[in-house]
Structure 1
Amino acid sequence: MSKLDGPEQIGAEVRSARKKRGMTLQQLSEQTGLSIGYLSMLERGRSNPSLASLLRIAGALNLPMSALMADSTISEAGPSDEKPGNGPHQHAVHPSGMYRDRFITPADAKTIQVLEAILEPGDQSRVAPYKHDEEEELILVLDGELEFRSGEMTRLLKQGESLLVDPRIPHSYRNPGSIAVRWLWISAKV
């Protein structure tokens, strides 16, 4: 792990990626719909970004979200975690403590990102419904139940069920079940 932890590390990663692309805070703000003030606080490590904000920022910077959290994740290597040519998967707990994600995207992937997410019973996305234009997303529930809201539509997804998400429609989710829900977020640049 680097010398910086949590929000400070994420902020440093966002700032570095933005500057490498020659992008100003104003341009990043326009592409993400996030305020310049918020982005500035995030880059200085004074704000805990939501999962939704990180997804928007990663999309605007044309990066997998795992790249913004690379140094703040905990590597858990083990026989079951190893994939040929992949190395250990990266586990991350979102700074809010709400989300537990496992980045399982191969390092050489160019257009696809795969996250394994876990949400405890009764918990929900703590952010307002969000939308983004850059990606197409698919959700595949591995264990438990996930209630997914997209615009006016609400759908309960059970183990083995999937849903193609139109990311341009504001969406959110919650775990209405009695066990942790585990699902894959699969997104691709279009």
Structure 2
Amino acid sequence: MNIGIEIKKLRTEKGITLKELSEKSELSVGFLSQLERGLTTIAVDSLEKLAAILEVHLTHFFDYPHNKKDIVLRSYEQEIIDAVEGGFIKYSLSTDLENKQLVPRLIEILPQKKNEEILSYKHEGEEFIYVLEGILTVYINGKSYDVYPGDSIHMDSKIAHNWANYTNKKVKLIAVNTPNFYGHNTIASTK
């Protein structure tokens, strides 16, 4: 999907002018015009603003992965499988999640404010996390841990847990989860 074309389509369907979209989003008319013509790209946080104004979820702008049957997934073929409000972008690290037990993902977490409430939760399965970049704050059973690049966590997902990024830089991690919600024709978020 071409994000710029989709933004223009949504904007015109809602009867919003470029100038109005510019004022609401605090992005320049020139930038928005270039975006709609496919001449520039947009940062996720700016796209999130536009999604809110156009009354769609951020994931509206991304295609879910196709069932490829190749064994090797090239880095340039990684597709977004989910983008969650609050700045979580999840990429599939598999060419075929159908009938698989594990869900390997690359996750990028944008900075968030420390005063945002982080609610822990539990779910079936187990989880493995390996931090590639940044400092991840992980909550496990009410206790907070700072997890640095090269650090990992392997746990039962039935333990109350969640994570956050309280730094001013992006956190990048690899997460491998069970069970596989994606391989059963259900797009469901485990984080």
**Secondary structure class of the residue paired with 2:139:** strand
Q: Which residue of 2 aligns with 1:104?
A: 93
Runs of at least 5 residues in structure 1 that lack an aligned partner in the other structure: 6-45, 49-68, 76-82
Report the number of matched residues.
120
Contact residue 123 and residue 174 of structure 1 kept, 8 A? no
Question: Which whole-Å CA distance do the structure 1 matches of 2:170 and 2:82 have between them?
Answer: 15
Alignment pair present for 1:155 and 2:108:
no
Return the offset for 1:86.
3.4
The 5 Å alignment of 1:21-170 reads 72-73=62-63, 85-86=72-73, 88-92=77-81, 94-96=83-85, 98-107=87-96, 110-122=100-112, 128-133=119-124, 135-170=125-160
Q: Could you list the per-position Cα deviations for residues 120-168 of structure 1 after superposition, in whole angstroms to 9, with x for gaps in the alignment?
A: 22358876211112x1101100000001001122211000000112211
Question: Which whole-Å CA distance do the structure 2 matches of 1:95 and 1:157 have between them?
Answer: 21
Return the offset for 1:98.
2.3
Question: Which whole-Å CA distance do the structure 1 matches of 2:129 and 2:117 have between them?
Answer: 18
Question: Which whole-Å CA distance do the structure 1 matches of 2:123 and 2:137 have between them?
Answer: 20
**Secondary structure class of the residue paired with 1:156:** strand
Larger displacement relative to structure 2 (105-114 or 121-130): 121-130
Distance 1:159 1:99, change over 3 A: same
The structure whose Rg is larger is 2
Runs of at least 5 residues in structure 2 that lack an aligned partner in the other structure: 7-54, 181-191
What is the percentage of aligned positions where both structures have the same residue? 18
| TM-score, structure 1 normalization | 0.51
2:91 partner letter: R
Question: Which whole-Å CA distance do the structure 2 matches of 1:108 and 1:95 have between them?
Answer: 20
Question: Which whole-Å CA distance do the structure 1 matches of 2:176 and 2:90 have between them?
Answer: 12
Distance 1:179 1:103, change over 3 A: same
**Secondary structure class of the residue paired with 1:94:** strand
2:169 partner letter: I
Return the offset for 1:108.
5.2
